[in-house]
Structure 1
Amino acid sequence: MSSAGKGILLLAILGLLHAAYSAYEHLSLLKALDRPSGVPTDIAIESVFAFGLFLLGVSRSAPELKEISWASQMRYQKIDDVHSRLGFASFNHRGKKLFGPQ
């Protein structure tokens, strides 16, 4: 995890908390004055910008993806340890709707 990603993530969380506090204060002031209204544009823009920073910080601080393929899994296992379980395969359900008695 990179320290730049963690820094961006911290900045985004602080921005989201500030936007939430600003929206709460603004709406409580409007409620006290009996003037119902929505959230101001600057608070909405701050929220969207902070959320974008949050996404960037999460993507930058995420660990490296692991390879998921048969070859990468078989590096750590022997072929004798892998059970194919062919005894449980059932093929008698195929074609009953198409080729069965009508």
Structure 2
Amino acid sequence: MSHPLKKVAIIVGLACIVHAGFSAAQHRSFVRLTEQEFSSLPLDIVVQSILGLFLASYGILMVSGDFKNIQVNADMKEKSFETVGNRFAFCTFEHRGKALYSRQ
């Protein structure tokens, strides 16, 4: 499937999901107006929502491209064993405590 057709698959899948949602809401209001007991949604609404989900998921996975491998040790290659435990991202030296507790 070429790239524009994959985007069309996403749009059609999302449109199916939205249409199934509106159909479900309309069916629910119809059941309330006729004072029937609600047991479940009609089969066509369920099939449409599942088909839309699979079509949109397929299109999104095909457009997104290849997945990249997660390398856990990529950051650790340049660091020595002594610096592994240092976490400077969590240290803050400029904070309100200096202004609150300074002697004037």
TM-score (norm 2): 0.64
Give 1 or 2: higher helix fraction: 1
Runs of at least 5 residues in structure 2 that lack an aligned partner in the other structure? 86-104
Paired residue type of 1:13: L
Identity of aligned residues (%): 20
Q: Which residue of 2 aligns with 1:35?
A: 36
**Count of residue pairs the alignment pairs up:** 81
Q: Does 2:16 correspond to 1:15? A: yes
Alignment map for 1:87-102 (pairs within 5 Å): none
Q: CA deviation at 1:55?
A: 1.1
Paired residue type of 2:48: E
Is the alpha carbon distance of 1:83 and 1:5 closer, same or farther for their aligned partners in structure 2, counting shifts above 3 Å?
same
Please list every run of at least 4 consecutive aligned residues from structure 1 whose deviation after the TM superposition is greater than 6 angstroms. none
CA contact 1:23–1:39 (8 Å) conserved in 2: yes
The 2-side partners of 1:49 and 1:32 are apart by 29
Runs of at least 5 residues in structure 1 that lack an aligned partner in the other structure? 90-102
Q: Which residue of 2 aligns with 1:64?
A: 66
Q: CA RMSD in A?
A: 2.7
Is the alpha carbon distance of 1:87 and 1:13 closer, same or farther for their aligned partners in structure 2, counting shifts above 3 Å?
closer
Paired residue type of 1:27: R
Paired residue type of 2:12: L
Paired residue type of 1:45: V
Q: Does 2:81 correspond to 1:85? A: yes
TM-score (norm 1): 0.65
The 1-side partners of 2:84 and 2:32 are apart by 66
Is the alpha carbon distance of 1:84 and 1:19 closer, same or farther for their aligned partners in structure 2, counting shifts above 3 Å?
same
The 2-side partners of 1:88 and 1:19 are apart by 52
Q: CA deviation at 1:25?
A: 0.4
The 2-side partners of 1:13 and 1:87 are apart by 48
The 2-side partners of 1:43 and 1:13 are apart by 14
